[in-house]
Amino acid sequence: MKTFSINSVCGKARAGTLQTAHGAIETPFFMPVATKGSVKYLSNEEVLSAGTDCLISNAFILHLKPGLEVIGKHKGLHNFMHWQKGIFTDSGGFQVLSREFCLRLSEQGVLFRNPFDGKKMLFTPEKAIEIQSRLGSDVAMCLDDVPLAGSDLKRLTDSAERTFAWAKRCIASHKNKKQLLFGISQGGIEKKLRIKSTEQIVSLDFDGIALGGLCIGESKEKMQETIKSAFQKIPFEKPRYLMGVGSAREIIESVSMGIDIFDSCFPTRVARHGLAFAFEKNLNIDSSKFRIDLKPLEKKCNCFVCRDYSRSYLHHLYRTKEENAMKLLSYHNLFFIQGLMKKIRTAIKENSFKKEKFLKEFGK
RNA sequence: GCUGCGAUGGUGCAGUGGUUAGCAUGAAGGCCUGUGGAGCCUUCGAGCCGGGUUCGAGUCCCGGUCGCGGCC
């Protein structure tokens, strides 16, 4: 059965559906990040009502805590977190390589220290696949080697080669028929390397192709150039996933180039730092200019936060460090981005998607 | 009435007789993009008043004002 079908094309932008074990998900879509099985400050009911069809959780983090035994008792992550729509799992490459965990990186895998018991453990591509299979996510991601922004050519080359080697091991050990598996291309913003890496990943017949190691500090222009060069090698019919992108502007730009899937902690993280998305200009609710402002965050937004609460109240909650401020702002930002995605899908289907129009409306 | 202590950015504190007086918080602005839970950056903003000692005082001395405490 075909897992991905493209139903409409508008320029390079496409709208389609990704078939998963938990239903079809319309593309392009955005996934909020639920690393530990929860989008920070939001209940899953709220995540759903904000317009979310799919979220992304983290295999590496979840296998450390609560562990597969606990989640296994629930027969998988969907039941454990009571979320019956789509779930991607990130392998954990992004985390395990951080200074906090990583002891040594080798061809075999990543030697890391488990912070909960201090034990040294080896995280391998096979392990990443096994964990994700047992979590029962709809889409598993390969373990990849994510270089830091600004890495030199040698590091980028190593990372791309290791990612390819690991991708082969991931695909060889992936037996879960109900679960899709996406490969990840690396290569930073080095055009040749990125093209080569993408070519290698594409050669392995994954269910989807992700672009990794982007939007981590490089310029937006470089990121776009990189996406364009990678796209020379990704077949039209494959779902294309740009990892880590979540601002309205970058989403619009990327959709117009043909990206189908996004994930990012951006909307919810900036919410926790007091930034509320809006059409004219994003607003920092911390600013005292909102002390007495009876308007909603965004008058054209239909979310319950904008319907029910004033900027003044949200400013007060934020200033007094009430957790509700985090929740309400997170909800609004997620609703805002999911509203954008819905509008994008509709526009593509109606063949009226215009990047400039969307940027004017949403992009700051 | 006597006496002790104190007085430093809006707020709470630090400090040394000697360059641009620190820190926290606050205010203004910016950032955050495959998240270990409220982070990061830039800027703004001050020594109660009046005398004196000294080359030089926020710092030492005298007087005053205000605040807190004690005593009669």
- Strand B bases near protein CB (under 7 Å) are 27-40
| Smallest CA–C1' separation from A186, nucleotide | B34
Give the residue whose CA sits closest to B31 at C1'.
A270
Contact in structure between A118 and A141 (CB atoms under 8 Å): no
Whether residue A145 lies in the annotated active site: no
Selected catalytic residue, list A90, A138, A144, A207 = A90
Q: A175-185: per-residue pLDDT in tens?
A: 999 999 999 99
Question: How many Å does it take to go from CA A325 to C1' B44?
Answer: 27
| Smallest CA–C1' separation from A64, nucleotide | B36
Q: A193-245: per-residue pLDDT in tens?
A: 999 999 999 999 999 999 999 999 899 999 999 999 999 999 999 999 999 99
pLDDT at A225: 95
Question: Taking the mean position of all CA atoms in its chain, how far away is CA A293?
Answer: 34
| Smallest CA–C1' separation from A98, nucleotide | B36
Q: What is the DSSP string of A33-69?
A: EETTSS-TT--HHHHHHTT-SEEEEEHHHHHHTT-HH
Q: CA-CA-CA-CA torsion for A173, A176, A181, A187, nearest 10 degrees?
A: -20
Question: How many Å does it take to go from CA A311 to C1' B8?
Answer: 37
Instruction: Report how far residue A257's alpha carbon sits from residue A132's, in angstroms, rounded to the nearest whole number.
Output: 30
| Smallest CA–C1' separation from A248, nucleotide | B33
- Which residue has better confidence, A119 or A137? A137
The chain-wide mean pLDDT, for chain A, equals 95
Q: What ipTM, to 2 d.p.?
A: 0.90
Q: What percent of chain A has pLDDT over 70?
A: 99
Question: How many Å does it take to go from CA A286 to C1' B19?
Answer: 38
Question: How many Å does it take to go from CA A196 to C1' B56?
Answer: 71
pTM: 0.94
Q: What percent of chain A has pLDDT over 90?
A: 88
Q: In order of start, what are the domains of chain A with their CATH numbers?
A: 4-272 (3.20.20.105)
Selected catalytic residue, list A205, A207, A263, A286 = A263
φ and ψ at residue A186, rounded to 5 degrees: -120, -160
| Smallest CA–C1' separation from A35, nucleotide | B35
Question: How many Å does it take to go from CA A227 to C1' B72?
Answer: 87
Question: How many Å does it take to go from CA A216 to C1' B71?
Answer: 70
Give the residue whose CA sits closest to B29 at C1'.
A287
| Nearest of A209, A207, A174 to residue A194 by alpha carbon | A209
Sign of CA dihedral A331, A28, A11, A252: positive
* A364: confidence class by pLDDT, cuts 50, 70, 90: low
Q: What is the DSSP string of A18-36?
A: EEETTEEEEESEEEEEETT
Q: A250-278: per-residue pLDDT in tens?
A: 999 999 999 999 999 999 999 999 999 99
Q: A34-83: per-residue pLDDT in tens?
A: 999 999 999 999 999 999 999 999 999 999 999 999 999 999 999 999 99
Whether residue A263 lies in the annotated active site: yes
* A149: confidence class by pLDDT, cuts 50, 70, 90: confident
